[in-house]
Amino acid sequence: MLAGSIPPFVPVLLAALVAAVAPRKIGHGLGFLSTAAVAVGSLLVPAGTYLTPRLFGFGTVLYQVDGFSRTMGIIFGLIGAAAVVYAYSSGAEGTQTAAALGYVGTSLGAVFAGDWLTLVFFWELMAVTSTLLVWHHGGRAVRAGFRYAVAHGIGGSLVLAAVVWQYAAAGSFLFGAAPGVVGPIAPALMAIGVGVNVGFIGLHTWLPDTYPSPHIAASVFLCVYTTKTGVYAMFRAFPEGHLWIAYMGGAMAVFGASMALLQEDMRRLLSYHIISQVGYMIAGVGIGTTLATAGAFGHIFNHILYKALLFMSVGVVIYRTGIEDITELGGLWRVMPVTFAAYLFGAAAISGVPGFNGFVSKGIIIAEAHKSVANVVIGPSSVPLGGEDLLWWLLIVGGVGTFMSFIKLGYYVFFHGPASVDPEDAKPGQAAPMLSVGALCLALGLFDGVLFEVLPNTAAIAEGYTTYTVPHVVESVALGVAGFAGFFALKGPLSRATWIPDVDRVLNPAVFFGGRALVRAVTESWAAVDRAVVAVASGATAVGADPRRYAFEGARRLPGFAVAAPTDGGVGEIDLRSSIGTGVFLVVLSLAVVLVVLFL
Amino acid sequence: MSDVVLPLLVAVPVLAAVAPLCLSLLSSETGWYVAAVTTAIEAGLAAVVLSSVYGGDRLVHAVGGYPAPYGIELVGDGLSAPIVALIAVVSLGVVGFAYTGGPRRNSFYSAYLLLVGGLMGVSVTGDLFNMFVFLEITGLATYALVAADRSGRSAVAALKYLLLGTMGASFFIIGVGYVFITTGTLNMIDLSERLAGSYATRPVLAAFGFVLVGLGLKAAIFPLHTWQPDAYTYASDTVTTFVSALVSTVAAYAIGRVILTVFTTSFLAAVPLARTAVVGFASVSVLAGGALAVVQTDVKRMFAYSSVSQFGLVVAAFALATPDSVLGGVVHLVGHGLMKGGLFAAAAILAATHGARTVDDYARLGYRSPVVAGVVAVLGIALVGVPPSIGFLGKYYIAVGAVRAGAWPLAAVVFFSTLLTLAYVARLLERLYFASPNAAPDRASGALADGGAATPTSGPTSAPAPSPSPPSDPDAADDTAPDEGDTRTVRGVSTGMVLLTVLAAVAVVALGFANAGFETLLDPFLGGALP
């Protein structure tokens, strides 16, 4: 079958090459076709291992299909196609979409890799192509892109080190050679290296820094691939899960939502929400049960849909108004009804309103946190809401924060007094992908069985989880009520707390000055070594070029040497010729020394 | 029955040495032909020895039919065969060199042949006292040859060599006396067996010290070298070529023979201080000799100090006494003989054609005498140890031996010796090829061109400056006198002489590929210990 012989990254990367040189229409057309073909192909290709060449003398698998990579392939292809259409309508240049398609292609290469070597190869290429995508916009994006590249360079190096260590421990790069990453150090390196990509707290600063800065269409691409590939790699590295990772996920859910609440830049708010949402996925991967893992992949799938939708709708607002600050906007629901509808779908989905897809996958993860984690139990189970684990609480609080921040975003942009500007609504080419993605969000929420079909571990979900139960719906409604109440209660304080900085206020200068100090230390010590070597070498050259003068000058300063003064400015003579008597003395002395040494 | 060549190797030149004296009754120019025939015979005999030993034989001849240990044994093995071959080749070559270069007096060739016989005797004898006898023959003949220049300076140099050399020989015989007292035998193999068990006794230790200092003096190890620079510098150029290539070489061989065959590695293992002392002495010699060579202005003196350095390396290799280092010592002995003989011969030709005696005199000679200067360059670079050359091979084996034995200081010394060698060779090369055109001294070409006062244009260091050193120093006083025509210089330069130096250079490079041959040759002697 054709789909089994061509790895998905090939057509997309070919389309990227064409898009780089071809006219805009042809490039975008090919990009759409290739990504749509990947989505369809991923759905149809039977599971199995294809293309196993030996690279650099190692056994590798360029193309491996199982339930997990299939899910990734379908959603990556699907949203890639929608984003290409959106990019075309939003006036993206051909070269920008070429970089975006390169980014999509390398991400597909990473998620369809069957071994760590191939994965890390595409992983690094993802960092390169996404940096190009950011840089393409110029201006503020250049500096942000540079910080992005540095962060991913460090993260990629850690992953590479972990992969090398993994090879040393397992003897093979193949995923099948060991259950995840094994050994004493490699898992830690891998967790931190992948943690950069998924935005572990403290390693996340590149994300809200970069994603608001480039072209609006570039943001749609960026919000999809890097973090989700990271979650996928985290699952490959820790297929059995890990409690610390689960708690990190819970903390990310709360942290991302809290920071999002403080933002006034629309895309920056959405970027912090990526951290929060990825936190749910990481929590699912970390819990590690079959159901939790399936929930994590379901959340990847759904999140890509609604987060891309949100970026698209916000992008349309920016596209039409040129304004990025929510406090300067307001009342747009009348003038941009289509965009508002799209936003509403996305916000409902991300907040987990029943009937939307976010409700389904977030529900699985929260239910698993309730059922399978009992590590840091808070309160006795006899009192109401007692007996739940810390992780569950984190995810619940994150849910409230999500409601609050999307109420905030929607309130400020679409209500919040009368419209101060009178922009046009979304173009048809922008509306079409938004509305189809929005419809998909609703459809997958209503017909959750369809969603389960494309997820891995379908049987486990069908058996272990029912989406629409009374407690689930009650829980969601409670979150929504808490979100509304919380936002309108805290609206005033929140608008005054926007000065609260993120850790990048400290981290960026620390990295900059620390790096400069490191560079200075290295270059200065090298320069010292260099000076010493040059001094020795030039000294040796000077002595070698005129040894007699140095010998004479040395001998002149020593007592007991017969030296003749230099004649007519030249070099003087040293008399080294010993008399016969001196010779005899030296011989006898030598004999005495030798005999004394031997008799000792 | 090829062991009969061993006594012939010694007897033929010693007997032939009488012939020039007798033939003087007829003509004063017959000595050369006797020497030529004799050294040609020696070369044939040496070829027999070399091929037999290369085939795996160990030649043994009991002199007069008296069996060892009572009689005197002559032995040809892997250690002596290359030395025998070197002596034969160099003595034949120098005779060829002397055809035009002189001297042509019959008495010179008597001493010459006597020296060849003595050198051969030291190389093939298997008896310690017999070795002393041949060392004395070698020494006496060398004193005579050094003095054969008939200048005052050479006479003083020969006297210095005589006095010090006699001391060295006395030390050697005192040491031999100690081992004879201890064991009652003089045969080397027998001695090695009887010495076992009494290594740490004082007579044996004293014997080792006396023998090593005595032979070290003959081999001109620093600080026992004081006779050597004067002897090499003031002897006539032909004699220097011969003496520098062979006499100290044979003394260094004797050191190797005594350490390896008489005292054996068991002694070195039982008395680790002995090995440390010899390696230490030799290492000092390497560095001091190299440093002294660097600061010389006179080319012959520079080469003389270079020998102090190189023999230090050889003695250190023998004292380390691992298979690699011994192989390296032998290869470097042979290589040094060829390289230094060739260098002195080339220097003799340059002195004769351009009057060039100092480093500054060599300015731009690379363009005026390209062939001979090219020989100097090739041999000098080989002496540094640049492959492919036998100079590289010897140093390489010694360095490998030092590294394998974990003797890192010695490995460092080998490295520094290379640097020092490079320093003085580079000075020569710089003068030969890269001196500015107006630095070339304006000298009349000719055999006696070095005479007269140094011209001011030849640079401040080109001639010995008037020395205010005390007049009681005979050498210094001698030096202050202006040269009245340099009697050391060869009588003339023929194409054949140039060709001989070229042959030396070619041999030095060609032997750089002979590593397998040397390994085959020495493997039986080293007990099959080579990898």
Residue B460 to residue A551, Cβ atoms within 8 A: no
Reduce the DSSP state of residue A473 to 3 states and report it. helix
State both tokens at A454.
């494309």
Give Cα A564 to chain centroid, integer Å: 78
pLDDT exceeds cutoff 60 at B484 = no
Task: Name the β-bridge partners of B125.
Answer: B74
pLDDT exceeds cutoff 60 at B473 = no
Q: How many CB atoms lie within 10 A of CB A242?
A: 18
* B residues 467-526 lying closer than 8 A (beta carbon) to A: 467-469, 473-476
Chain B residues with CB inside 8 Å of A600's CB?
273
* B residues 289-308 lying closer than 8 A (beta carbon) to A: 292, 294-295, 297
What secondary structure letter does DSSP report for B430?
Answer: I
Banded pLDDT at B123 (limits 50, 70, 90): very high
Rounded to whole angstroms, the Cα distance separating A406 from A402 reads 6
- Using one digit for the tens of pLDDT, what is the confidence trace for A41-98? 888 888 888 888 887 778 888 889 988 999 999 999 999 999 999 999 888 888 999 9
Rounded to whole angstroms, the Cα distance separating B10 from B72 reads 13
Chain B residues with CB inside 8 Å of A591's CB?
171, 209-210, 213
Rounded to whole angstroms, the Cα distance separating B430 from A544 reads 11
CB A422 within 8 A of CB A320: no
CA distance A567 to chain B (A): 7
Residue A580 to residue B160, Cβ atoms within 8 A: yes
Banded pLDDT at A531 (limits 50, 70, 90): very high
Kindly report the pTM of this predicted structure: 0.62
Q: Which residue of B has its CA nearest to A578?
A: B226
Render the burial of B418-435: b for 16+ CB within 10 Å, e for the rest: bebbbbbbbbbbebbbeb
Residue in A398, A223, A376 with CA at minimum distance from that of residue A311? A223
Residue in B308, B284, B311, B288 with CA at minimum distance from that of residue B409? B284
The larger pLDDT score, comparing residue A503 to residue A398, is at A398
Residue B213 to residue A599, Cβ atoms within 8 A: no
Residue B467 to residue A587, Cβ atoms within 8 A: no
State both tokens at A576.
């080294």
DSSP string, A23-41: -HHHHHHHHHHHHHHHHHH
Q: Select the residue of A572, A576, A594 nearest B213 (Cβ to Cβ).
A: A594
pLDDT exceeds cutoff 90 at A103 = yes
CB A410 within 8 A of CB A266: no
* B residues 123-182 lying closer than 8 A (beta carbon) to A: 159-160, 163-164, 167-168, 171
Least confident of A222-236, A260-274, A572-586: A572-586
- Using one digit for the tens of pLDDT, what is the confidence trace for A443-484? 988 888 888 888 888 888 888 888 888 888 888 888 889 988
What pLDDT sits at residue B455? 38
pLDDT exceeds cutoff 60 at B444 = no
CA distance B213 to chain A (A): 6
CB A389 within 8 A of CB A375: yes
What secondary structure letter does DSSP report for B292?
Answer: H
Q: Which residue of A has its CA nearest to B459?
A: A570
Rounded to whole angstroms, the Cα distance separating A312 from A316 reads 6
CB A9 within 8 A of CB A51: no
Q: Kind of pairing, strands A377-378 and A58-59?
A: unpaired
Q: Which residue of A has its CA nearest to B474?
A: A579
What angle do helix axes B237-257 and B227-234 make, rounded to 10 degrees? Answer: 150
- Using one digit for the tens of pLDDT, what is the confidence trace for B148-182? 887 888 898 999 999 999 999 999 999 999 999 98
Residue A577 to residue B213, Cβ atoms within 8 A: no
pLDDT exceeds cutoff 70 at B195 = yes
Banded pLDDT at B198 (limits 50, 70, 90): confident
Chain A residues with CB inside 8 Å of B423's CB?
544, 547
- Using one digit for the tens of pLDDT, what is the confidence trace for A114-156? 899 999 999 999 999 999 999 998 888 888 899 899 999 999 9
**Sign of CA pseudo-dihedral A337, A340, A341, A342:** positive
Length of chain A measured in residues:
600
Q: Which residues have a Cβ under 8 Å from the Cβ of B438 and sit 6 or more positions away?
A: none
Q: Select the residue of A586, A597, A599 nearest B223 (Cβ to Cβ).
A: A586
Residue A579 to residue B208, Cβ atoms within 8 A: no
pLDDT exceeds cutoff 70 at A347 = yes
CB B396 within 8 A of CB B314: no
Find the mean pLDDT for residues B461-474.
Answer: 41
Q: Structural domain boundaries of chain A?
A: 1-239, 240-492
CA distance B173 to chain A (A): 14
What pLDDT sits at residue A231? 93
CB B59 within 8 A of CB B5: yes
What pLDDT sits at residue B461? 40
pLDDT exceeds cutoff 70 at B470 = no
State both tokens at A4.
């089994």
- Using one digit for the tens of pLDDT, what is the confidence trace for B492-527? 888 888 999 999 999 999 998 888 888 888 888 887
Q: Structural domain boundaries of chain B?
A: 2-442+490-522
Q: Which residue of A has its CA nearest to B278?
A: A594
Find the mean pLDDT for residues B324-328.
Answer: 90
Q: In Å, what is the CA distance from A131 to each residue of A126, A150, A153, A233? A: 8, 10, 11, 20
* B residues 386-445 lying closer than 8 A (beta carbon) to A: 423, 426-427
State both tokens at B138.
């070698």
Banded pLDDT at B474 (limits 50, 70, 90): very low
CB A172 within 8 A of CB A153: no
What pLDDT sits at residue B60? 87
CB A214 within 8 A of CB A134: yes
Rounded to whole angstroms, the Cα distance separating B486 from A108 reads 90
Q: What percent of chain B has pLDDT over 70?
A: 90
CA distance B143 to chain A (A): 15
Rounded to whole angstroms, the Cα distance separating A332 from A335 reads 5
Task: Name the β-bridge partners of A48.
Answer: A65
What pLDDT sits at residue B529? 55
Render the burial of B265-282: b for 16+ CB within 10 Å, e for the rest: eebbebbeebbebbbbbb
Chain A residues with CB inside 8 Å of B478's CB?
none
Rounded to whole angstroms, the Cα distance separating B165 from B227 reads 8
- Using one digit for the tens of pLDDT, what is the confidence trace for A485-501? 888 888 888 888 878 88
